[in-house]
Structure 1
Amino acid sequence: MDNSKQASVVAIGNFDGVHKGHAALLGYARKIADDAGLPLVVLTFEPHPRQFFKPDGAPFRLTPEKLKEARLKACGVDRVEILDFNAIMASLLAEMFIDMMLVDLLGAKHVVVGADFQFARNRSGTIETLKQDKRFETHAVTLTSFGDTPVSSTRIREALQQGDIEAANAMLGWEWVIEGEVIHGDKRGRELGYPTANIPFGDVFAPAYGIYAVEVNVGDGVWRKGAAAIGIRPMFEVKAPLLEVYLLDFEEDLYGRTLYVRPLSKLRNEEKFETLEALKAQMAKDVAQVRALSV
């Protein structure tokens, strides 16, 4: 944490997904910062408060910490201030949070939040709480809509859960990426003629199980076509969801490397085939379908 106090414009939130609604809020905050000649600082939390309060809950993150920070910087943020969300942070009264974090730490002159923003112990702090403090000006930004409903991280997860990558990306305003390190697997893909890079989801949200057309960046900046299986591989009784990626026309060893996988569209659901030969035949059809796509 950078403890050097400097007057700033502060946007507060969890910003999971850094979606279109977040981008609109940050664009509004950027204009205030430019007009006032002040830096724009995002105040966010790690772990996500939901992870703190429900550590055994299902993975839900759209953007892990590094990706979230990169997306925030891409929205024109000058600095990302990440607060450790722990028991002390969770117990702070609204007035203490304002004094310690907004005024003392960041020298806030303007505070920008979403119209549904709540904070501090038991979510007792509201926009009205912020507005009562005259040391800074509070700006509540109207939520951005997609269709008839405001864009939210929850709606994006729901779209992903339905396998609707296109709708999820439309609400995000960018193409969703799954980032992870390739681990050693059971090499079943190689035995079937389609060697795959296996990536665990960790605390990242897993979309609807199935087969997807994807693009893959192996860290060299080049996006390559691929076919990916997301799920539990019903033929092999795997319990934890896994991302298995087959890169077309690529033969390098990927173990231990970090891959960036962009799901483009869902091709079909997971299936349990009667024989391995039937599975291989379907995999060949999946790869042919991906190869025919113009991406």
Structure 2
Amino acid sequence: METYHQLVDFASKYKNIVVALGMFDGLHIGHQKIIRTAVERARSIHGSAFVFSFTNHPRAIVDSLGAPRRISSEQVSLRILRNLGVDVLVEIPFTHDFADTSPEEFIHLLYRHFSPRYIVVGENYTFGKKGAGTPQLLHDMGKRYTIETIVCSSVLYDGEPISSTRIRTYIEQGDITHVNELLGYPFTMIGTVIHGQARGRLLGFPTANIALRESYEILPNGVYAVTVVYHHRIYSAVANIGNNPTFGLCDRRMEVHIMDFDGDLYGKKILVSFHKRIRSETRFDSVEALISQIKSDKECAECVFQETFHLQEKISMVI
């Protein structure tokens, strides 16, 4: 997959372009439907599947309250887009000038830079100044440029459309089961292992410590059953997100105990996928009580993985 961060004359380099339009925050199963539709249509006409989006959330520019935190990091999003079969990702900054672009100007911009055969959007997609553009307008004006518009219906969950807002609510609640069902893949973070206080190793449970980026959505403090991908291998693990209250608090971070692994991960990137919340973070009165609880957490996580027969399939989207 090729990536661009500016608009160029794509039509001179790529033939039979199909463009999926949207913010695609989190790349949940509703977004995946739109992108898969674009990829399938591009393949059917021997063309190229594009995703055209923004590096920053438009609400950061047009909303006085600012933008919500992103659900997925750029690294996770790129992996998912590649696995969906996208040929080209075009992500540009959403600026004040772009926010003032009329719907008609935006459609002309699409024609000038992409000259697409098809444009694929969701039924609630809006574009142009103050979101005045609709899929119907895109369809009607697209005809002037011989562009066909495909509008994908929303994917429903419990009778309601899946949305990034719903997923953020589940993340804030620590409801990882619903988060993963709406995403269509496990909620995943990629981070570089940093030096900690080696306390986990002294307790008999060495951990990989990862600093948390507050610009992205983070699950509530607690203990989770996770998998870790490192050097193309998948490991079962237990992750604790929190401030280490038993030992006098620290900066909020994630500590991951990887089962059946013995190696030096300092400075290395690992991929952590969340599968189930085991418990809330707790302050223990003694080290012995903490060790006993960690053993129980490991047993609980192992039960989760024994029950998960399609683990490889579930995380293949982000590997």
Give the match's secondary structure for 2:194.
coil
Cα separation, 2, equivalents of 1:86 and 1:127? 22
Q: Which residue of structure 2 aligns with residue 3 of structure 1? A: 8
What is the correspondence of 1:184-199 to structure 2 with a 5 Å cutoff?
Answer: 184-199=195-210
Q: Percent identity?
A: 33
Q: Which residue of structure 2 aligns with residue 49 of structure 1? A: 58
Q: Does 1:206 align with 2:218?
A: yes
Structure 1: where are the runs of 5+ without partners? Answer: none
Q: Deviations over 1:95-127 (max 9, x none)?
A: 222222x11111123211111111233323222
Cα separation, 1, equivalents of 2:238 and 2:129? 45
Structure-2 change in CA distance of 1:87 and 1:198 (3 Å): farther
Out of 58-67 and 77-86, give the one that drifted further.
Answer: 58-67
Out of 284-293 and 141-150, give the one that drifted further.
Answer: 284-293
Which of 78, 83, 95 is equivalent to 2:104? 95
Instruction: Say whether the 8 Å CA contact 1:165–1:265 is kept in structure 2.
Output: yes
What is the correspondence of 1:59-208 to structure 2 with a 5 Å cutoff?
Answer: 60-100=69-109, 102-133=110-141, 134=143, 135=145, 136-202=147-213, 203-208=215-220
Structure 2: where are the runs of 5+ without partners? Answer: 309-319
Name the structure with the higher helix share. 2
Cα separation, 2, equivalents of 1:49 and 1:259? 30
Cα separation, 1, equivalents of 2:157 and 2:67? 26
Structure-2 change in CA distance of 1:251 and 1:89 (3 Å): same
Cα deviation, residue 176, structure 1: 2.6
Cα deviation, residue 213, structure 1: 1.1
Which of 17, 22, 30 is equivalent to 2:31? 22
Give the match's secondary structure for 2:76.
helix
Structure-2 change in CA distance of 1:234 and 1:49 (3 Å): farther
Which amino acid is the alignment partner of residue 164 of structure 1? D
Structure-2 change in CA distance of 1:277 and 1:224 (3 Å): same
Q: Deviations over 1:138-189 (max 9, x none)?
A: 2221101112111122222222333332222222222232111112223332
Which amino acid is the alignment partner of residue 216 of structure 1? V
TM-score (norm 1): 0.88
Which of 281, 284, 292 is equivalent to 2:295? 284
Cα separation, 2, equivalents of 1:190 and 1:31? 49
Out of 112-121 and 163-172, give the one that drifted further.
Answer: 163-172
Cα separation, 1, equivalents of 2:84 and 2:271? 20
TM-score (norm 2): 0.82
Structure-2 change in CA distance of 1:58 and 1:186 (3 Å): farther
Structure-2 change in CA distance of 1:96 and 1:215 (3 Å): same
Out of 67-76 and 137-146, give the one that drifted further.
Answer: 67-76
Cα separation, 2, equivalents of 1:55 and 1:181? 33
Cα separation, 2, equivalents of 1:113 and 1:260? 30
Q: Deviations over 1:19-69 (max 9, x none)?
A: 211121223223433444432211011023345567996973222223212
Cα deviation, residue 13, structure 1: 0.8
Instruction: Say whether the 8 Å CA contact 1:73–1:79 is kept in structure 2.
Output: no
Q: Does 1:259 align with 2:275?
A: no
